[in-house]
Structure 1
Amino acid sequence: MSGGWAGSTRRAELPPNWYSQVRPFILDRDEHRCRWRENGTVCGRWANQCDHIGDRDNHRPENLQALCEHHHAIKSSREGSEARWRETARRKPERHPGLI
């Protein structure tokens, strides 16, 4: 796999019925329309992606939404960036030279 999926185990973490039942149910429920909200407006473009709103291990319908490919990429990129910053080793803050 290329891109963000390279080396990922995410597909293995999804329930066995993800592609046969869960994902199709969410896309049908949301009428294959992107639920991305920005400035109080819903995108509404054709959605072919199923996204976890909150906890990525919670596969209940209340935690899932349909997104278009464009907005799912934006959301995933933001989440990945936030995770990287949390994991980045930061240098310990140095004391101010005048306080030494």
Structure 2
Amino acid sequence: MSGQWAGSTRRYELPPDWPELRALVLARDEQRCRWRENGTVCGRSATDVDHIKPGTNHSLTNLQALCRDHHAIKSSREGNAAPRVTRWRPTERHPGLL
């Protein structure tokens, strides 16, 4: 995988019929971004399908069409809000103190 999917396991969490679900959502949303801000819908050309609520609920009611820019903004916000997993090595004692 390359680009933004590099190192991600997200693709494996999608259902086998994801291409069909994606096409349905884009058609339902008329290929227009559904991002709402201050009561206004973006309406630009949608290229991505996003989960409204993060997780593995792939129902049509939890999916929306977004333009690339708004999908990036939403994904960034969700990533920044996610709990951090730190993988620090334990502090090693100095060899002279062993």
TM-score range, shorter chain: 0.7 to 0.9
1:36 corresponds in structure 2 to 35
**CA displacement 1:8-60 (0-9 Å, x = unmatched):** 111111000101x1000000000000000001100000001000001320000
Q: Please report how far the alpha carbon of residue 88 of structure 1 lies from its aligned counterpart in structure 2 after TM superposition.
A: 5.5
Letter in 2 for 1:15: P
* Secondary structure of 1:47 counterpart: coil
Query: Mean Cα displacement is larger for which, 21-30 or 53-62?
Result: 53-62
2:17 corresponds in structure 1 to 17
Give the unaligned 5+ runs of structure 1.
Answer: 90-100
TM-score by length of 2: 0.81
Letter in 2 for 1:66: A
TM-score by length of 1: 0.80
- Higher helix fraction (1 or 2): 1
Quote the Cα distance in structure 1 between the aligned partners of 2:55 and 2:71: 14
1:87 to 75, 84, 88: 84
1:50-65 to structure 2, matched below 5 A, reads 50-65=49-64
